[in-house]
Amino acid sequence: MRQEVQVKGSPIGLGQLLVPVKASAPTGLASGSAASSLTSGLGLAAAGQELAEVKSRIFSPGPTDFMYRLKMVDGRLAELDSRHQDSPRKCVTESAKQWALSGLPDSSNTLTGSASFWFSCKEVMSQSGGGTLTVLFGRKDGFSYVAELQKAGDDTIPTMVVLGKVDDASTKAEVWQIVLPKPSVTDTAKQHSSWMYILGDKASSNFEMAVGGTGRMNGINDSEEPNSGLGCGVRLKASSTLVSGIGRFHEAGTGGGNDATAQECNDAEVTLCAGAGDLAAKSASECTALTTFSASVPKLSYSQLKGAAPYAGYLKGKAILEMTGLPELTSFNEDASK
């Protein structure tokens, strides 16, 4: 009797977002990811404590721990890869289609930035509270692309977007992360957004990050989404030995209510230079080579992301969440034999 041989799929070969980001991030900051408590203090960072503020708000457990988020994204893609190897999926062998995004925050505060992502597969999963998680991925010219678009059905999970590009060898990655209000926030005056951009290059030990938004973070137990952590806008650039930064190291809305006054995000920018490992202050002259950012790194300033309600950052983030302009993609669930 002839036995039927089960067809297996080859590994997809997607790159991993976390690998180059973790490898290039300043060790003194990265050591806080999923390892210490999220602080609930607001207001201006004390002089000399700006990097401690960054570590506690951006590199520590909680909604702003982006490295843990990237680990989860990589894990989800590994699960899809395993499913494809068990049962080949049609979309994996199809040509990737371009999703061109425009009107993104940029380095000139004009919302004229752009980025392209290439996808061939689409997987839609259910979430708690009636929400959905849509995963997109594809490969093009030696790069892997991934998107996770999470729509909350109620207030139990965050509404957010992660967009990533990484070379297939996992040496260089670019990531956008956008957090939007919970579904219960319908007042346009409260429809804020939190944005983050990360560039990690393992080969050159270069790490660059921008973070900012509008809105505020009230505390651990009563946080109002979106949590930006450093809402008035900060940019960091680091090598294997030094980290340089510029921005306003505090949260928008610190004066009360759900928003910041113009004065709260109009104070003078702080610049810093420190050791990448111990975060100890260095003279500004030591960081001269780290003061120029890559062209892709935006200024996620309060002024660029706000404007009149409904706010500019919210509108752009919402359009991405709704997958506006995304080409039609084959469902990951469709077998290769069909």
For residue 300, give every residue at least 6 positions away whose Cβ sits within 8 Å of its Cβ, in sequence order, or none. 105, 195, 196, 197, 210, 211, 212, 213, 233, 235
Candidate from 145-149, 167-171, 175-179, 221-225 with smallest mean pLDDT: 221-225
Determine the average pLDDT of the residues in 189-214: 92
83: buried, middle or exposed (CB in 10 Å: 19+, 13-18, 0-12)? middle
Give backbone dihedrals phi and psi of 217, rounded to 5 degrees, phi first.
-120, 115
Whole-structure pTM value: 0.89
Q: Is the pLDDT of residue 231 over 90?
A: no
**Both tokens assigned to 70:** 């990237």
Q: From CA 143, how far away is CA 121, in angstroms rounded?
A: 15
Cα 291 from Cα 138, distance rounded (Å) = 34
Region 259-266: mean pLDDT is 55
Determine the Cα–Cα distance for residues 200 and 238; give it in Å rounded to an integer.
10
Give the range among 6-10, 23-27, 95-99, 315-319 with minimum mean pLDDT: 6-10
319 versus 50: the higher-pLDDT residue is 319
**Dihedral sign (CA 302, 306, 312, 314):** positive
Q: Which token pair is 194?
A: 């939190």
Whether residue 221 is predicted with pLDDT greater than 50 in this model: the reply is no
- How much is the average pLDDT of 179-192? 83
Task: Please report the pLDDT score of residue 40 as a whole number.
Answer: 34
Tokens matching residue 60: 């520590």
Per domain, the residue ranges of the chain are 18-83+170-308
115-119 — which CB contacts under 8 Å span 24+ positions? 115/163, 115/165, 115/174, 115/176, 115/296, 117/145, 117/147, 117/163, 117/165, 118/143, 118/145, 119/145, 119/147, 119/326, 119/327, 119/329
Overall average pLDDT of the 298-314 stretch: 88
CB-based contacts of 32, cutoff 8 Å, min separation 6: 55, 56, 59, 60
Looking at the chain, the number of H-run helices and the number of E-run strands are: 6, 13
Cα separation of 122 and 184, whole Å? 27
Instruction: Return the higher-pLDDT residue of 89 and 190.
Output: 89
Split at pLDDT 50, 70, 90, the class of 223 is very low
- Residues pairing with 174 in the sheet: 165, 199
What's the pLDDT at 226? 59
Of 228 and 231, the structure prediction assigns the larger pLDDT to 231
**pLDDT higher at 326 or 254:** 326
